[in-house]
A and B are shown apart, each in its own frame.
Chain A
């Protein structure tokens, strides 16, 4: 009994210290922000029902492919990533998967008013710079309808949601700014293996050139995300993806507008790359715990068998 009392005192002070330096201190240092579930309530819902066939036509006439490629439809990007970054600061995304990766409301708002959807006004119009993507002013008909048609078109050509792999979601939503070198990903694509040093250096030069342009465009090179699942944790990444300004006011990182499912996929990818032994840790952990409980039980029996002669 006395030993249990002593144990209670030890446990109490240990937990008190733990509570102070971990949960309490961290709640003071990092204010908690809840995810709103990627609903994007500040954006208005699509009023009109889009027609994909008409949308295809509108898409072509609106001049989207002047900057964007749609590889799945046989429309390659008009420029390579380096040339594109030289003109725009960043490589405009290929839109093959856009309909699946991004939220529909977000896409509609993005077409009508890119800076607003991306929440980067503080870095562009309000800072006296013009945003590289021009807003869509309509082709003369009902603009809302036209936008709804384009969104419908993008959704119709996109792969089904379940066909979008975690890696595809990452590449579309994050990969043009963030490298992931633990998975050989650079901002201009996957790093191939080279037989000759010179080819490797040529590729490296392209990567560095792209990164320089990106740094100029954003003010700072976006970090490599290889270890972000461990350095930031799921909760932070999730809420940051949804609304970067809420956690890091003034950041150059745009709101990326991913759907809830895509956000989950991005997180899955970050875990695959940054914490790939996560599942193994759980399963080995269970075995070790079972072993340890039996270990403790046997140790107790041994102790009892010896000490009953001593008391």
Chain B
């Protein structure tokens, strides 16, 4: 047994037992971040804050939500929205945060792609991040089922039908996923479980992994420069703060993060109170009706690009293309054959690839929402094909890239 002296303060008392001073030093005050960064480096913190907001608002929704096909809609739209004090606030915050979190995820992802932050030891950061993207998608989809409105029901119907895997006609699998022939009580209950328990658990574990993967390779910087963190940290600690290429996580990096978070929250709360239709589709304010499909059905905006990769092709090739789109981002660190860690602007053809991919995905997103008719179908087909071509071309484009 260790020897304990009488503590003179609460901090000391805790330090004796938990080594909080060491923890603080290792995790915060001497966790070194490059100085050469811009506000895009704060997106991780913005995501952490948004996830926190989702958890807290979700807890309050959980206090009144009823996972029952006869009660779910009213428990959300009447009890929570109209009876519970500030219930409307929790719901608006939850719905808007669930949508905006994907905007930030996409910004975070494209920042990583642009600056090459998935290479040379940072592969796991990228892969754990992609796992987070997939689990957030599952979390968002399962949550979307819960109000049991028209969009919930029909999204549940259409997305679970994907698991029949086209001509393989695995209808038994679809029924197994639903626990019924159509989305019903069993379906709602299990998606409720996924949404409030299993997926959050997985997400929290993955967030831990994602942070862990950062520790050794460290955060990338605006120029992709390889920094000797130990050397630079010594400079910082010896007082040469201006010369050092690194800063502390706390308070240096955190203070900048918090300012970015603040600006983000202004934007976020504006959406919550006055501009929420994009995240709370009006059609989902009609109760689920298994005998009537809404005139226009479409996924939430953040799924549209992959939905549009599915849609313009015939059934089986569409599914294959869709499957391709789901996994291809995972392979980015291996498809990019260039050893350069640098912003895309200095990487010649890769810069073109980057901007074309971005614009193509925006085009796919917009076409995914529009009804699949006439010119929109054609544009959708072209954009989906381009998406596939871009990824196939990536290794060839990057193979002979000049070293920067």
Contacts and interface: CB of A to CB of B under 8 A. Distances in A.
Partners in one complex: yes
A280 interface: yes
Secondary structure of the A contact surface, majority rule: helix
Nearest to A295: B262
Interface in A295-311: 295-296, 299-300, 302-303, 305-307, 309-311
Given A25-B369, A303-B259, A306-B251, A288 B278 contact: no
B346 interface: no
B38 A310 contact: no
A6 B255 contact: no
B386 interface: no
B309 to A, nearest CB: 16
B39 A6 contact: yes
Contact of B301 (A21, A293, A299, A305): A21
Given A306-B252, A309-B241, A7 B369 contact: no
Contacts of B284: 231
B94 interface: no
A311 B255 contact: no
Contacts of B266: 289, 292-293, 296
A288 B269 contact: yes
Interface in A263-298: 276-277, 280-282, 284-285, 288-289, 292-293, 295-296
A296 B261 CA distance: 8
Interface in B232-246: 241-242
A24 B296 contact: no
A83 interface: no
Interface stretch (B61-69, B76-84, B186-194): B76-84
B40 interface: yes
Contacts, number: 125
A310 B262 contact: no
A131 B236 CA distance: 89
A194 interface: no
Contacts of B323: none
B208 interface: no
Interface stretch (B135-143, B330-338, B358-366): B358-366
**Interface size range on A against B:** 35 or more
B273 interface: yes
A187 to B, nearest CB: 17
B4 interface: no
B26 interface: no
Contact of B107 (A10, A280, A307): A10
Interface of A: 2-3, 6-7, 10, 13-14, 16-18, 20-22, 24-25, 28-29, 182, 223, 226-227, 230-233, 276-277, 280-282, 284-285, 288-289, 292-293, 295-296, 299-300, 302-303, 305-307, 309-311
Interface string B269-299: 1101110011010111111000000011000
Given A6-B39, A292-B262, A302 B255 contact: yes
A303 B255 contact: yes
A28 B296 CA distance: 11
A25 B366 contact: yes
Nearest to B38: A3
Contacts of A303: 255-256, 258-259
B273 A288 contact: yes
